[in-house]
Chain A
Amino acid sequence: MKLQRSSRLALYSVLELASRPDEQLSASDIAAKFDVSLNHLAKVLRDLGRARLVEAVRGAGGGYRFCGNARRTTLKDVVEIFEPITLHDVGGFEPGDKTEFGTSLAVVLGEIDDIALATLDSITLETMLKLTYRLHKQPKG
């Protein structure tokens, strides 16, 4: 499974901000860490702001901070802001989809989608932070 660039960037941003709940990070700090353009990141942060997952703090020392609930927000919640997760039936019918093999293939692809959806829906941001800590075994600075 491959996520769109905006979804990945959104996940990186909320995870980075949620891992530092007492800090505000500037968009340029986040852009530099994940090696993305500031323009693209600004659009992503705006969408995350509309979804009430991040908020901008103005003034000296301002920046962005996570304002959602890391124990309740799942990967699916974030990804769905940027792309539909069930991909196999999006975009109408492709040639062959209505044949007997096409419908059988749709059943198999649906199985894969259902597993992917359950996985994204059962992993919260807090669980992701724990996983990251476990994999890298060092506290966030």
Chain B
Amino acid sequence: MTKIDIFHEETGLTIRNAMADDLARIIDLDESSSGISKPDYWQESFRRFGSLQDGRYFLVAEKDSKNEKKSQIVGFIIGEIRAWEFGSQPGGWVFSLTVDPGTRLAGVATVMFNTICQCFRQAGIDKIHTMIDRDNITVMAFFRSQGMMAASTIPLQLSLSDMDNAGDSS
């Protein structure tokens, strides 16, 4: 079981496991960032990663957590330990990171990222991975600022419709 509840004095943020009551805010934060509302996706993500299962981390950053009336979720991060994908050693994967647009440049993402890295470290993981669209310069610049470099793997994709149009589908 991976229970996280850490108060970060410098920023006044509490980083803790996401709870079911946080889902509405998480859905809103994602929509304000991506422009797409996907409640089903986030409910399923919470079911899979919010269960405090070892190696799975769904963390939120909460501002003013001591004050029930003022407290607010200002960001969230999700990651998990994956092993032997394409032959790679067990590693930590961060596959979701969102910060309230009104709270950016306040160190929220850095505190969340450091916390999840600490979770991975305690689980004996050394390498942290993520994957970002190369047009998403803001998020890529953030991960770069944390010291992430290009990995030895290159993601590839295939458009099946292009393949079908070329008559290669057989």
Contact = CB atoms under 8 A, between A and B. Distances in A.
B102 interface: no
A131 B147 contact: yes
B150 interface: yes
B69 interface: no
A118 B140 contact: yes
Interface of B is mostly: helix
A5 interface: no
B145 interface: yes
Interface stretch (A13-21, A50-58, A119-127): A119-127
Nearest to A114: B134
A119 B150 CA distance: 9
Given A115-B134, A118-B134, A134 B140 contact: no
B137 interface: yes
B137 A127 contact: no
Interface string B122-166: 000000000000110100110011010010000000000000000
A118 B141 CA distance: 10
A74 interface: yes
Nearest to A128: B144
Contacts of A127: 141, 144-145
B134 A124 contact: no
Interface residues of B, number: 9
Contacts of B150: 119
Interface in A11-55: none
A121 B137 contact: yes
B59 to A, nearest CB: 24
A122 B150 CA distance: 11
Contact of A123 (B134, B135, B144): B144
Nearest to A118: B134
Interface in A96-133: 114-115, 118-119, 121-124, 126-127, 130-131
A123 B147 contact: no
Interface of A: 74, 114-115, 118-119, 121-124, 126-127, 130-131, 134
Interface of B: 134-135, 137, 140-141, 144-145, 147, 150
